Chains A and B, each alone.
Chain A
Amino acid sequence: MGGSTGPVWVFAEQSDGSVLPVSLELTGQARKLADELGTSLEVIFLGDAVRENTQILFNAGADKVYLGEHPDLKFYQSERYMQIIVKLAQEHQPEIFLLGSTATGKELAPLVAAKLKTGLTAHCIDLTLDQEKRLEQIIPAYGGLISIVCPEKRPQMATIAKGVFLKPDTSEPKQGELVLLEIGNEQDQRIELLNVVYEETEGVPLESAAVVVAGGAGAKDLEGWQQIVDLADEMGAALGSTRPPVDEGWVELDRMIGQSGKMVAPELYIGVGLSGELQHMVGITGAKLMVAVNSEPKAPVFEQVDYGIVDDCREFLPVLIENIKAYKADKA
């Protein structure tokens, strides 16, 4: 054969010029896929004056980095970014193309996929190669895992959340080829970015928390939800949730854990009033100790944790919180 397989591609997203952790994680995994396929790993990096931050991509395993620098590329802009990537993809025919499941990645990936008339898989929790060396994209669904492949169209595209793959070791300096892209001054004809505003999130951040208290639909209403918030506060824990509390408006979307939310790996996870649906549970496989409280003894969550308590959370949580307070007072 020899050289017939196109390169593996990763889109490296930056914030303030620095490569996002998810992009490094994907570069690490893409390195393995490229080695198995016997092809090269190439990363696309767009931003404004970001050249000095390119080295980490080589350290993470990139053979080649396509660097596009221009003041217009400081922030993601759909049309500009899409056009640059699509043109490059048409020239170089990548075999695989991975993007982080960030707000940017989630908008950019389908734009590029539709332009290239290829398939795209959302929220993958694993990426491997099957016997035919096709990219096997694993997602949780219907209480199990399903594998998705894109048999004919190329590139095979997927988006993956932060925390699915381990961050590669980037401490050792490595060499690679830097390719500078020519970025023109053309104006966007249809969308103009006016402003980007960053907001502080309230409370303990999920990603780095040692303890996570996650609530689900079993909270029943805002009052029941407040008890879960209280438990999190009492434990100094980060608040997490399943999908229904977000849909009900009890909590912000950025608190959702799981396949289409965040991946967390705390020392202790307490799941309250949630059924243990795989789409949520895949977000906490990295937790050390896991506890569930659910009123239904047969709830699937009890097959996936270390300690289980069958009780109505609305009755149990106030008692638990009192006990924690008493314990703390005792120690003090």
Chain B
Amino acid sequence: MFKIVVLVKAVPDPKRASEIKIDPRTKTLTRADVPLVMNQLDKHAMESALALKSRVGGEITAISMGPPPAAAILKECLAMGADHGVLLSDRAFGGADAYATAYTLAKGIEKVGSADLVLCGMASSDGSTEWVGSELSVFLDLPVVTGVKEIIGSSEPWWQVKAHIDNGYRELKVKLPAVLAVTRELNTPRNISFSGIIKARKKEITVWDFDALGVPESSLGLAGSPTIISDLRVSESKREVEMIEGTREEKAEMLVQKFADAGTF
């Protein structure tokens, strides 16, 4: 059977992510209660998996690494139509940089069993390294294409894809199994239906911890991360603002004058 794995990340709601700030005095992060949501681009990856499944058949497993509340986004995947949801969750996975994240996800994918296709988002809204798909492909020894905006799948092992480059795109043929990191142009994610929610309720999320993955602790989480944060600083602006005040009309007039003075027109 054609097996698709989709990587989904639980991220702080981007609309409220700016509430998490560096405290200038303690140089630590202020813990705001920002809810976790599914990373937007990962919804496009899920949608792509569902569309492919309806064309070539198969089975979809959504995988996420994150804290226990991340299970909610896997439930969302099930409601969209995924067959299984797997959460990789353990304190030992915490503090992972992109490398350790990709490594842990790769181990999770291996445990799911041989995937024919791994789909992930091009970037997460919080980490936004854009590395995870590529690094994971190395750990799984699979080819990768990033920036994917069109997939022409078939029952043959060589698939054709279109992917972004600077100022254009490239067309490639990639041999499955492969990793594809997708962009928002690929599709429009479906809304979750009521019957989907009911179906998802009956399904369980599989949780794999450190013991379940069976890899040395030194390669996971903070311990397995080559990079570390060495300093946090507050940045200071060098500009002094002058507020332009008055009625709307006056403000507009004064601003146009400032533009003119600066030689804009």
Residues of A within 8 A of B (CB): 75-76, 78-79, 102-104, 106-107, 109-111, 113-115, 117-123, 130, 134, 136-137, 140, 142-153, 189-199, 201, 210-211, 217, 235, 243-244, 247, 249, 253-254, 260, 267-268, 275, 277-278, 288-291, 302-311, 315-316, 319-320, 322-324, 327-328, 331
Contacts and interface: CB of A to CB of B under 8 A. Distances in A.
Given A120-B131, A194-B171, A291 B139 contact: no
Interface stretch (B49-57, B63-71, B162-170, B196-204): B162-170
Contacts of A75: 170
Nearest to A120: B131
A120 B227 contact: yes
Nearest to A199: B168
B229 A147 contact: yes
Contacts of B123: 260
Contacts of A289: 258, 262
Contacts of B139: 114
Query: SS class of chain B's interface: helix, strand, loop or mixed?
Result: mixed
A113 B143 CA distance: 15
Contacts of B20: 142
B256 A146 contact: no
Contacts of B128: 122-123, 260
A268 B255 CA distance: 12
Interface string B241-265: 1111000110111011011101111
B213 to A, nearest CB: 18
A144 B166 contact: no
Interface in B218-252: 225-235, 237, 239-244, 248-249, 251-252
Contacts of B131: 109-110, 113, 120, 122
Nearest to A287: B239
Interface residues of B, number: 79
Given A103-B164, A142-B29, A197 B169 contact: yes
B140 to A, nearest CB: 10
Contacts of B227: 119-121, 137, 148-150
A95 to B, nearest CB: 14
Interface of B: 14-15, 18, 20-22, 24, 29, 40, 97-99, 102, 123, 125, 128-131, 134-135, 137-139, 142-147, 158, 160, 164-175, 178, 183-184, 225-235, 237, 239-244, 248-249, 251-253, 255-256, 258-260, 262-265
29 contacts: A107-B146, A113-B131, A114-B102, A119-B225, A122-B128, A123-B128, A140-B235, A142-B232, A144-B233, A147-B232, A148-B227, A148-B228, A148-B229, A190-B143, A192-B173, A192-B174, A194-B160, A194-B173, A196-B168, A249-B184, A253-B183, A277-B18, A289-B262, A303-B237, A303-B241, A304-B239, A307-B244, A316-B251, A316-B252
Given A146-B232, A151-B228, A249-B184, A311 B255 contact: no
User: Which of A110, A134, A260, A324: most chain B Cβ within 10 A?
Assistant: A110
B228 A309 contact: no
A291 B243 CA distance: 10
B237 A304 contact: yes
A120 B99 contact: yes
Nearest to A115: B138
B143 A305 contact: no
A152 B259 CA distance: 51
A48 to B, nearest CB: 16
Contacts of A104: 165-166
A126 to B, nearest CB: 11
